[in-house]
Every structure is written in C-alpha cells, then in structure tokens.
Structure 1
C-alpha cells in the first residue's frame, strides 16, 4: 500500500481547499470501498481528507415534502429512518439488501453513489481494464462475465454499477447536491452517471474536486407504494445479479403512476422508462406488465455467458409490479 497523507477537517470549504491544493487528494468518508481498493493497489491517493467531521449527516424534510439525505449520513441511519421507511420503503429495503450491518454502519450516502464497480478484472491490477487504466483493454469481454452488463455496454467496458441505493433513488428522480470552490450545484441522478462510451474511467458528471453534500429525494405519492427486490448468488450479502426498484399507483384499475429502475444490468442504474411509458394510463394486468418488460429488454445485448439476465430481469419486473398491482387492488376494495 502506497504511503499517503491524512488530514481531518470540520468545514466544507477547508475540505475543498485541501483537495484542490494537493494532486492525488481524495475525500474519505466511511472508506468501505476506497480503502479496500487502496489495499489492492487499484487506488493510490497521495492524500486522504477525512470529511466525517463535516455537518453533513442530517436526514430531514424539504419545504415541499421531500427528503434530504446528508452525504455523510450512514446507510444504517437512512435505512432505519422512519420517514424513509414510510414514504420511500424501496430505498430502505435496497440499503438493507446492500451489505452487512457492519458495512452499513460505516458506509455513507455520498460514498455509496461513488463506489467503483466490483468487476474482478477492475480489482486485479494484473488484468486489462479500461476503467482502471484507460486504453489497456477489457478482459471481461472474453473472460468471466456471467454477472456483467446486458444493456448499454461497449467493447471498452462491460462492468455493472454496484450500488443498491442508487436504484430506487433513480426511480424516485433523486437529485445530487454538491459544493465546489466556485459554488454549489445540483445534478439529477439520471444525469449523474455517464454512459460507458470509450472512456469508462469517467464515471460521473460530478465536477473535478467537487464534494457531494446531500441527495434530495423529491416528494412522491407513488414512492410510498414501492418495493425493492434483489437476486444475488448467495443468501448472505452480495452484489445484485439483477435488482428492481418499482413503485405503482393504480386507481380504478388504471395505472396513474409507475416507476421502475433496474440494478445489475448496466454501468449505471437503469431507469426502465419504456416499462413506465407502456403501462401508464392502462390496466395493470400481468400480461401487460410482461409485455412492457419485454419491450424494455428488447435492446439488451447479452454477452456469451449472461443471457440469463434478460429472462431474470423480465421475470423480476413482472413479479414485483404484479405484486404491487395486486396490493393496490386489495387496498381499493377495503
């Protein structure tokens, strides 16, 4: 592990100045991803600026009824928050499905969004990986890729985004707040992650040196009727093979609002807008839901060993939305 400098700070401006003044400096919060990558030789920051002392851990309500999740709020705190559990249940479920209790106690909101892929080739400095070393190639394309992307990948990278939390946040139109030395800004989560393109090492649209300060989840009536389901390779904590965050509002048999996002299928959380468009304004029958899922996945391009993900994603979308529709039907009869 390369030697590095370490500094703590209690002011956002000080943290930004420290990172801007030192080449190779990085922000450190929970460190559950970054420190592991440093140990493996994948990341080698010259300086770590510890931001856990910043006053950015609040979970509160916005004036219009949404929620603000502070960037240094722990995953455990967000998952346990009464407002999150009541108004955005899929978010709480996703976090609880995402890691062990010990990791959730350390991991933070901002760090979760910025975690790097868990592709084994990315984590192994001896392998070719364009995300780690631009221009070196992608060993996963012809290698072990059964758990890699089926949507929106290129020959430059077939890795998937590892975040569970980002999937429901995508479905709920969350917005990322950040600070730079030049001022503050916001990025919608739909624009936060970059497409793979030919530079998979460039993962987000966050400005250089920017510090995430919060994630804002807009007020949403349909979010209260949401669910997160994750398929993984073992019962203990693991990254998603495929996951679905879905919310559905059905009134008098007609879909009034629907939100669907997928995890484990692309380099970023995949907002299933084709499903949403196909279902909105019509009946929420199992047949229509299955047909909408097929339309969404019609553009999938599975690799040699992961075509099963297409079927898995289709079945998962159908199952979760059908259950939500059934629950809505029961509620309307009460």
Structure 2
C-alpha cells in the first residue's frame, strides 16, 4: 500500500512532463487531422485493435477473438509492431520463428493460429505491402495495437478501455496512463469496455455509456474476462485449479489484477513473481522461479503463467519439461448477450468494405 501511495505521489510530481507530452501528441494529431501528415489506405479491409492507454486492456484476446470469427470465412492475417523483439523491420512468422524474432504476442497468435499469416513491422505502412506480397491470398488484415499509428487508415477501428481505468478518467503519461488524446476515441467505430464485473447491471452499463459519450455512429460493448482450463506448458495436460492448491503465479504482463482475483477465489493461497511487461526470461529468472516454488510447503502446488508469458518461457523446454508449469488462457465474453451484434458488425464490415484509395 505504501509503495502504491509513493508511486501515485511520484507520478503527480511529473505533471509538467505530462503537460509537455500532451502538447506533443496534440500537435501530432492536429497534423494528421489537417492532412499535413498523410494516412495511407489499402485495397482490402483493415481492422485496427487498440487503446488510448499503456497497459493491458485485452488487445491480444480481442485479436484472437477476431481471428476465430474470421478464419473460417475469410483469409485473415495479423500485423503487429513486435514489441521487444531482437529483429528489425518486416518479419513474417515461419516454422522456426521464436518470440525473440517477432515478440511474445505475435508468437502467441502464430502458435494458436498456425494457418494465419502473422507478421511484424515497426512501419506498418511499409509492412502491409510486403505481407500482401508474401501472402497474396490475404483479404483482411488485423492491426494489433495500432490505433495511435495513424500512418495507416484502417476501415474499422476497435477501441478497448479497461472498466477499472476508463480513458475518460485517466490522464496523460507519465502522470497517468494515456498515450493518446482522450478525443481520439472519436476515431473509433466500436468501443469495448473490457474486464467488467460479470454482474454488471444495465444501469451501470448505461452510466458508463453516458460517461464515454459515444458519437451517433459508435457502438459500445461490454466484456468480461473468461478463463479457460489451465494446461501444461509442454505436455498440454489439463489441470483443475482447486481450493486445496497453492499456486506460484509468474507474470510479465502489464496488469495481472484480474488473474490475482481469480486465484484469491479459487485456491488455498498463491504467491506472485511479477516481472516487467514483455519481460524476456533468462536463466537467472528460471532459478528464481524454482527457488520461490520450492519454498511452498504443499505437495499440491503448481506454477501458473499467462499465454503471453508462456511463449517466452517455452525456450526452457529442456530444463522445465518435467516442472508443473501451467498456462491459463483467457478470452473476451460479451455481456448483455451482445456478442452476436458485435460479430455481425465485424462481418458486415469485412464483407462490404470498399477499397480505400
């Protein structure tokens, strides 16, 4: 609690820096709005999934949701920046690709959707033609975490915002978490409020919608996080998480709060080893994980991690194959029975979009 108070106080002291940051992104957006900076359109449907803040709002699970929706009807591909990869420029995932080549989230897409082209590139306006050259059958591209990258003109913009930290209540970096203007929400076609309480009421929903103030053309949806069965990192064996189990939670994600809440409800106890977002695990981390795990005095114990972390731990297969390391998948579940409405909005866009010249 003290450390959180200190962090909040320190961030408030950085308000002058936040105001400079706000000025910079205001000028940048103005240059795009006035078409001094150009946006490029492409002759196929492009869906952009993004947010206005740093940290986890559920972008990767949303990309996966879209891939499940589209892969049997169209020929989708994904394009990401490839954060914290050790390569530069455009890279298309292949049989020998690792997370070091393309980043953890794209690698996760590649593993879970092996028939879907997964590419990375810092300059998306350059990477898209290269992707289409390599995979000419592609007829829809999903841009991961690209709402603020306005060099590409997407036809459908999906904005995610965490219910516990709505963009309307946030402030600009480094005092807050916003990396883009609050007014940039107006560029979205669909707004998804994520990580909601499953028991969210219609009155609470309407209150949030009133706070967001969507434009007439914007649709607002609400999702909660749904967890799947935990499976072994290497053998894929399923394990049931039970109330007599103790868990060592190992994460390198921006916001593990919901996963911690899950373990508080469904396990005897848990301990946490939290690393920075997109952390690249090394042999010293492996030693630390094992040392921490061995301090747990319960035979019924496991190491639990996220799918994003799992792709960065998989390189230790020869060392960890027999360790009880399990992965817990997550996905979006739409509240108020509005999942089909969301699906139809996406499918209609992909089916009827006209080329952008």
- Give the TM-score of the pair, scaled to structure 2: 0.24
Structure with the larger helix share? 2
Structure ranking higher on relative contact order (CA contacts 8 Å, 6+ apart): 2
Q: Name the TM-score, length of structure 1 as normaliser.
A: 0.25
